[in-house]
Structure 1
Amino acid sequence: MAVAEDRRVTNSQVSLVAPLTLVVVRIGLIWVLLASAYLLFRSRGLPDALPLAGTTSTYAVTVANVITLALLAWLVRRDGSRLRDLLGFERARLASDVGWGVLWLVVFWAVFLVPLTLVPLGLARPGSASEVQAAYEQVFSGMYADLVTTDALPAWSGVLVGIVFPFLNAPVEELTYRGYVQAHLVRRTGSAAFGIAVTALAFGIQHLAFAASWPGALTYAVAFTGWGLAAGIVYHRRGRLMPLVVAHVLTNLPFGLLPVAFTLAG
């Protein structure tokens, strides 16, 4: 049985305080930033302030990533290690890491798509094809159907965030959730199941920020928790974080770069 997490934690006095605080600060910061965006848009008298705030979720996560990375670097140094060590980057293993990353991408998406497909149907219990369509629209469109303002933020800011987001978000989230939080929880409690489950749940809760409706929030919570469970199991058994970062980057790329392409083309 793999004990990858033990090799990532060097401080013998492992505490639950640091990993749990890191998660709470990260998730709380994202929601504070989203709430601030809502208040800003509302103060400007925009009628669609709520969905507009939702469109800034990538901005909020990007800012949270910078702060999380700084906090994580401090925590890791305090443990006598480095972020590079936690990441496990090795030039000689890059090709192997990319190959495994592509494989895990397929596995994680298979796990992810099951609740993403079934939870909306379970909530709506549609009786016809049109009701099925309405159920998915409620989950994935939701409040964004009321979006009318298109120039609330400068286009250049969206381009900048879209380029930065995939390449910053993936390593920061993997370092935070799998590399640091899960490793510390497993080491402190002695239970891999507990560490993986709690970390996956936190990962799912974070992604509520992207939901467009309450059904969407539940769907995303289940789907991203499933992704977190799969990623956590892989990390625990394989002991390599880089393949998970590769899978995460490939997942984030379309969400970051496609809006950039549309902005530049339009």
Structure 2
Amino acid sequence: MIAQPAPPGTIQPIPIAARAWSLLALRLGMVLAISLLTWVILRSAAGVSAFPPDTIWATLGLLPVNIVCLLLVAKFYREQGRSLREAMGIQHGRIVKDIGWGLLWLIVLNVPFVLAVSGTVLLMYGAQAPEAFATIFVAPTAQTSISPVWLLIIGLIAVIPFIVLNAPVEELVFRGYGLNGLQPGLGRVGAIIMTSLLFGAQHIFFAATIPGMVVYCIAFTVWGGIAAVIVTKQGRLFPIIIAHWIINFMLSAPALVLPILMLTGVVK
């Protein structure tokens, strides 16, 4: 049967693949734009010329990115007749089991991630790799002199929303709507590879140095690829979100603990 053209004035639904591409492109574009904007502001206001910006500023910049992406992915799922709870695979009576899966995936994801980081640094620096670890993940020139009070305020504004929002939003964008949306055009393997590469590319803007950007890109591509395979096989997103939550909490908590220790005099 030959498909009949739509009546004049009919609004054609946007294919899921096009929406998936737009969602992924929007997130990467916003991360790039906010990283550049933060760099310009820090350069003009504090004389900090190093790029990418310090981690605390990158985390703060993720707040609007996560909010916009959450609203957009919720809209896309709602138009499919699905809630975010359904999209994440949160099921009553499975929370405890999902926490167990999340702890398992935390180990499964972090072992190859650490190996990817170590292997990349070794390939880049050879025998000087041990010394390189002290320089490529910390950039003193990118850090700004901030009082402990303001450091704590910025940390509260940046870190708490990051811990709450980033894991579910990133998983919904990359391993949820993005992965499912790219499969019709790229196939399962192609969708896994593409979303993993984009996940790795996003994280280059959270590194401390240019060499660190290379390491982050490779390591987070590996992390994203394994996470995508797990989600594809398990058929549910929530256990990976739990693993992602734990990682974000572990990496972000020091940004709150350090200024508190400085204010109490424990650290000077």
TM range (shorter): 0.7 to 0.9
Highest CA radius of gyration, 1 or 2?
2
CA distance in 1, matches of 2:156, 2:202: 23
Decide whether aligned partners of structure 1 residues 83 and 200 sit closer, same or farther in structure 2, where only a CA change above 3 A counts. Answer: same
The aligned residue for residue 150 of structure 1 is: 145
The aligned residue for residue 5 of structure 1 is: none
CA distance in 1, matches of 2:40, 2:112: 36
Determine which of 166, 172, 175 is the counterpart of 1:178: 175
Tell whether the 8 Å contact from 1:120 to 1:139 is kept in structure 2 after alignment.
no
Tell whether the 8 Å contact from 2:112 to 2:223 is kept in structure 1 after alignment.
yes
CA distance in 1, matches of 2:209, 2:179: 29
The aligned residue for residue 156 of structure 2 is: 159
How far 1:52 moved relative to its partner?
A: 8.1
The aligned residue for residue 238 of structure 2 is: 242
Decide whether aligned partners of structure 1 residues 214 and 202 sit closer, same or farther in structure 2, where only a CA change above 3 A counts. Answer: same
Matches within 5 A, 1:1-266: 14-44=15-45, 46-50=46-50, 53-55=53-55, 56-126=57-127, 131-141=128-138, 144-147=139-142, 149-151=144-146, 155-186=152-183, 188-189=184-185, 191-266=187-262
Percent identity (aligned): 29
RMSD (Å) for aligned C-alpha atoms: 1.9
How far 1:147 moved relative to its partner?
A: 4.2
Tell whether the 8 Å contact from 1:34 to 1:54 is kept in structure 2 after alignment.
no
TM-score by length of 1: 0.87
Amino acid at match of 2:50: L
How far 1:214 moved relative to its partner?
A: 2.3
CA distance in 1, matches of 2:24, 2:75: 15
Q: Which runs of 5+ in 2 are unaligned?
A: 1-12, 263-268
Tell whether the 8 Å contact from 1:51 to 1:146 is kept in structure 2 after alignment.
no
How far 1:254 moved relative to its partner?
A: 1.7
Tell whether the 8 Å contact from 1:54 to 1:212 is kept in structure 2 after alignment.
yes
Tell whether the 8 Å contact from 1:26 to 1:64 is kept in structure 2 after alignment.
yes
Q: How many residues align?
A: 247
Tell whether the 8 Å contact from 2:151 to 2:259 is kept in structure 1 after alignment.
no
Tell whether the 8 Å contact from 2:30 to 2:65 is kept in structure 1 after alignment.
yes
Q: Deviations over 1:69-109 (max 9, x none)?
A: 01111111222222111011113000110000000000000
Amino acid at match of 1:43: S
Amino acid at match of 2:83: R
Q: Which moved more, 1:98-107 or 1:61-70?
A: 61-70
CA distance in 2, matches of 1:147, 1:179: 34
TM-score by length of 2: 0.86
CA distance in 1, matches of 2:186, 2:61: 34
The aligned residue for residue 8 of structure 2 is: none
> In structure 1, the residue corresponding to 2:16 is in which secondary structure?
coil
Tell whether the 8 Å contact from 1:48 to 1:149 is kept in structure 2 after alignment.
yes
How far 1:16 moved relative to its partner?
A: 2.1
How far 1:190 moved relative to its partner?
A: 6.2
Amino acid at match of 1:54: D
